[in-house]
Structure 1
Amino acid sequence: MRPINTEEIAQVTGGKVLYNQKPTKVKSVCINSREAKEGALFVAIKGSRVDGHDYILDAIKRGAVAVLVEKEVEPVGDAVLILVKDNYAALQALTRYYRKKLEIPIIALTGSSGKTTTKDIIYSVLRQKYKVHRTMGNQNNDLGVPLTIFGIEEDTEIAVVEMGMDHLGEISHLVHMAYPDISIITNIGVTHMENLKSQENIFKAKCEIFETLTKDQMAIVNGDDPYLSTVKGEQFNVVQIGLNKKDFPLFAHDIKSNSSGLEFTVCYNGECKKIQFKFPGIHNVYNCLFGIYLGLHFNLTFDEIQKGLMEYFPSNNRMDIRNIKGVKIINDSYNANPDAMKAALGVLMDFKKDKGRAFAVIGDMFEIGEESRTYHLEIGSFIAKSNKVDYLVAVGCLAKDYYNGALKNGMDPDFVYYFENKAQAAQFLQKNIKSEDVLLLKGSRGMFMEEILETLERSSF
């Protein structure tokens, strides 16, 4: 973080410095006292379960030199205590102020699925030439985005900021802190249908990411998505990427996906190049295209872009591919929605070997609204009709409809299993998987499907 004086902080947040402590420079911002380091500003957020005011002393002991508080507290050494009305509002006002001090391009991205993978691909590509800062973990909300912005250092040249949402107005709030120069939407699915009620509302909520763009700035969208293909830029430039669309400035064709990964041809302004990526799945072609376009936009060569793609490494529980006792396990358990589930199943099919068997071990999909049963049945049907998945192992209450959908569409009952919990599913797998099999683990975050992987790693199947 570029240092900010505590006098500036008080002014920007409308706060009052308590006890007239001597002004000091703040070199980082945190909301967790355990993450406080020398020169930090600790923001004492009061949450539903934990009150940050109870951890002020801990933060100062760890090196915090200033604290934003919502109530008067006793002085602690030389730490500067700044009293504000609302710490959330103060943090966000300070984020906007800090963003305006930055003179680097910020890339913001959102989407129903693929946004974290796309973010990490963009980072891996652009870091071949630039010092790049990106969102870490799942810090894509009204607290995470400020922390990401404050993580931008003096030598940072480009920042990539992921934005999540589950209701209208949330991304609008985030972009008015980050003020991106380039905004990306990967796709429009049905995640958060429970709150937003329709894909039209999901589309509307995602498009809030364009609100701050001006005529010199740019939106990049998946032009093959039926919703995103309608995005028109009267106030900003719109770039569409996709597959086999020669009228797009960047498109991919001649796609080959197998257990070795992806190979495809990408064309840009009449120039075509072969591209390789270590991870299979057509959905990953789209993820790569965003990274490729931005690489070209920021003047990287195709060789630099290819090197960046090959150096990409997935975040936790996202296409984490492991070999355990000869069994290949695809741990894609971070989250799930119907589109992401089908994409992951496609990867499972790509990895299946002639000698081995493919196991789809899939848990409930949450937050997909009133049509939840329909979506779960569709996934079961998709698996049955593929004829490429040998075993369906459905886990959880909602997952019973994977089971029902597969049976209704002709999948052999001897290869369709339903379990209420992960322990039962893990026990079944320990008894039935063998060398050269390939296994997919996927489900919504609340299912914690990675626990099955942890059980298998400890077992002696």
Structure 2
Amino acid sequence: MISIVWSLASRLIGWSLKVQLKRYLRKNPQVMIVAVTGSVGKTTTKLAIAKVLAQRFKVQAHSGNYNNELGVPLAIFELESPGDIRNLKGWMGIVREMSRRLTKPLPYDVIVQELGAGRRGDIGYFSFLRPRVGVVTAAKPAHLQRFGSIEAIVDEKFSLAELSQIALVNAEEERFAPKLTTLAPSKLHTYGTSRGDYRFSLRSDSAAHGLEGTLVLRKGQVDASVRMMGRHMAEAVAAAAAVGELLGMTPEEIKAGVERIEPVSGRMSPLEGRNGSLLLDDSYNASPEALIASLNTLYALPGRKIAILGGMNELGSDAARYYAQVGGHCGQLDWLVTVADLARQYVAPAKAAGLGDDRIRCFDTPYEAGEFVASLLQRGDTVLVKGSQGGIFCEEATAKLLANPADTARLVRQSPYWQNLKAQAFSHTKSAAS
């Protein structure tokens, strides 16, 4: 009964926030909405787009991942969450503050907003946003437990393209290919690194210089360098350049914006590690294809290659197959270090791929994993840290490896709210407090 009450309270609050947001947008019809969705890459793509558009427009883009029925209104109203839905007083205060802000015009030309989708209908819930541009990044096996099939994920993500005025779809995502013909050619635009109407054609990807390549636009080509790592991150750059041109920016403006794009916390963020090592902090979340892409980035770098991997949540009945795929891709590592129970499923396929048993360690917490890897680090080592966000918290392994403790502020989930959750989750371990 209690859970039903709180579920109803959540729906009521969500409805109240939606009503307020509709009013806000009706009062500010001049503001263009650029919406971004996809199984991976939403926040990175959103912030990359914002950097580019800021060269001409006044842009709002929430720095975090406020992307559900409660988070989207908070992001657009520039308000922070009062926390648990049971904090009714806090949420009612949010509704009152929204009412107060309705009296003032939105001081932006463009809002870049990410939209999450964990079940069918989540994107359609936000159809009232009427996005000027809808960017669709990827359809991967994430939230499979709730969607039931990869086909359902494809349909849900692609629905943003269908309800937007201009559709911008990642041409590198082959699962979208059959859907592209369903859109009018005048509405559809594509982007990528090797295919698409708009491309960031890469020449190099290195720790020293980041991504270097050529932006291929409809109005010309310009060379650009971006302080990001990972060929899959180049897709976000291509999307940002595409949105810039679709909204009337010049190649020169787009280049200037692209070169201001920076890594996002927890998304292939390069950090200085102990003893002259390099950390690739990709700890925000994990899905099979994203994890394999991150491993490929690691393999392309010199020196010893160490991976601290947490599990992948919500993979449904196909979980064993996906763990086998990722584990089988770990054979080139010098060390595989796993965090918590789910990640132990990488071990057997990693061994089958040639990784020796003496190069594998399994730990219950990210703190223990980080402490172990810290004892191994040598100059020239590169450490990839990645895992799902649900209760695994691999960023705390990264924290143990930082050369500069102040860089902890550059990690994900460091607010008092998250630190309290971690303290509760790991209260039984000694290493959590050390």
User: TM-score when scaled to structure 1?
Assistant: 0.75
Shift of 1:457: 4.1
1:449 is aligned, of 394, 397, 408, to 394
For structure 2, the residue ranges without an aligned partner over 5 or more in a row are 79-100, 406-434
CA contact (8 A) 2:166 2:187 kept: yes
CA contact (8 A) 2:328 2:352 kept: yes
What is the match of residue 359 of structure 1? 306
2:220 is aligned with 1:271: yes
Matched ranges for 1:58-97 at <5 A: 86-97=12-23
What is the match of residue 140 of structure 1? 67
2:136 is aligned, of 180, 185, 201, to 185
What is the match of residue 417 of structure 1? 361
1:438 is aligned, of 382, 386, 408, to 382
C-alpha separation between the residues in 2 aligned to 1:97 and 1:423? Answer: 46
2:332 is aligned with 1:332: no
C-alpha separation between the residues in 2 aligned to 1:369 and 1:255? Answer: 38
C-alpha separation between the residues in 1 aligned to 2:253 and 2:403? Answer: 40
Secondary structure, counterpart of 2:317 in structure 1: coil
CA contact (8 A) 1:99 1:149 kept: no
Structure 1 residues 454 and 128 mapped into 2: Cα distance closer, same or farther (>3 Å)?
same
2:145 is aligned, of 194, 197, 202, to 194
* Greater helix proportion: 2
CA contact (8 A) 1:110 1:206 kept: yes
Structure 1 residues 377 and 97 mapped into 2: Cα distance closer, same or farther (>3 Å)?
same
Q: How many residues align?
A: 371
Secondary structure, counterpart of 1:383 in structure 2: coil
C-alpha separation between the residues in 2 aligned to 1:399 and 1:236? Answer: 45
Shift of 1:198: 0.8
User: TM-score when scaled to structure 2?
Assistant: 0.79
CA contact (8 A) 1:373 1:398 kept: no
CA contact (8 A) 2:202 2:211 kept: no
Counterpart of 1:452, as a letter, is A
2:254 is aligned with 1:305: yes
Secondary structure, counterpart of 1:370 in structure 2: helix
CA contact (8 A) 1:219 1:236 kept: no
Shift of 1:361: 0.8
Shift of 1:316: 2.8
What is the match of residue 131 of structure 1? 58
Matched ranges for 1:119-268 at <5 A: 119-151=46-78, 154-176=106-128, 178-213=129-164, 217-229=165-177, 230-231=179-180, 232-234=182-184, 237-245=187-195, 248-259=196-207, 260-268=209-217
C-alpha separation between the residues in 2 aligned to 1:100 and 1:358? Answer: 52
Shift of 1:378: 0.8
CA contact (8 A) 2:172 2:194 kept: no
CA contact (8 A) 1:243 1:252 kept: yes
Secondary structure, counterpart of 2:375 in structure 1: helix
Shift of 1:143: 0.8
What is the match of residue 344 of structure 2? 400
C-alpha separation between the residues in 2 aligned to 1:315 and 1:256? Answer: 20
2:295 is aligned with 1:369: no
C-alpha separation between the residues in 2 aligned to 1:258 and 1:454? Answer: 23
Among all aligned residue pairs of Structure 1 and Structure 2, give the percentage whose two residues are the same amino acid.
Answer: 29
Counterpart of 1:307, as a letter, is A
Shift of 1:221: 0.2
CA contact (8 A) 1:172 1:211 kept: no
Structure 1 residues 48 and 410 mapped into 2: Cα distance closer, same or farther (>3 Å)?
same
Q: RMSD value over aligned CA atoms?
A: 2.6
Structure 1 residues 321 and 409 mapped into 2: Cα distance closer, same or farther (>3 Å)?
same
Secondary structure, counterpart of 2:341 in structure 1: coil
C-alpha separation between the residues in 1 aligned to 2:202 and 2:68? Answer: 38
CA contact (8 A) 2:212 2:224 kept: yes
C-alpha separation between the residues in 2 aligned to 1:100 and 1:361? Answer: 47
Secondary structure, counterpart of 1:311 in structure 2: coil
2:271 is aligned, of 322, 334, 359, to 322
What is the match of residue 417 of structure 2? none
Counterpart of 1:408, as a letter, is A
C-alpha separation between the residues in 1 aligned to 2:371 and 2:41? Answer: 31
Give CA deviations for 1:296-355 in whole Å, capped at 9, x if unaligned: 2223333322222222233332223211331211111111101211222223234x33xx
C-alpha separation between the residues in 1 aligned to 2:310 and 2:214? Answer: 35
Structure 1 residues 427 and 135 mapped into 2: Cα distance closer, same or farther (>3 Å)?
closer
Matched ranges for 1:342-357 at <5 A: 342-350=292-300, 352-353=301-302, 356-357=303-304
Deviates more, 1:248-257 or 1:364-373: 248-257
Shift of 1:211: 4.8
C-alpha separation between the residues in 2 aligned to 1:292 and 1:249? Answer: 11
C-alpha separation between the residues in 2 aligned to 1:459 and 1:295? Answer: 36
Counterpart of 2:66, as a letter, is Q
* Greater strand proportion: 1
C-alpha separation between the residues in 2 aligned to 1:429 and 1:156? Answer: 46
Give CA deviations for 1:241-273 in whole Å, capped at 9, x if unaligned: 22433xx42234353222221122232237332
CA contact (8 A) 1:327 1:434 kept: yes
Deviates more, 1:133-142 or 1:236-245: 236-245
C-alpha separation between the residues in 2 aligned to 1:137 and 1:101? Answer: 25
For structure 1, the residue ranges without an aligned partner over 5 or more in a row are 1-45, 53-84
Counterpart of 2:17, as a letter, is L
Structure 1 residues 211 and 47 mapped into 2: Cα distance closer, same or farther (>3 Å)?
farther
C-alpha separation between the residues in 2 aligned to 1:134 and 1:189? Answer: 24
Deviates more, 1:92-101 or 1:159-168: 92-101
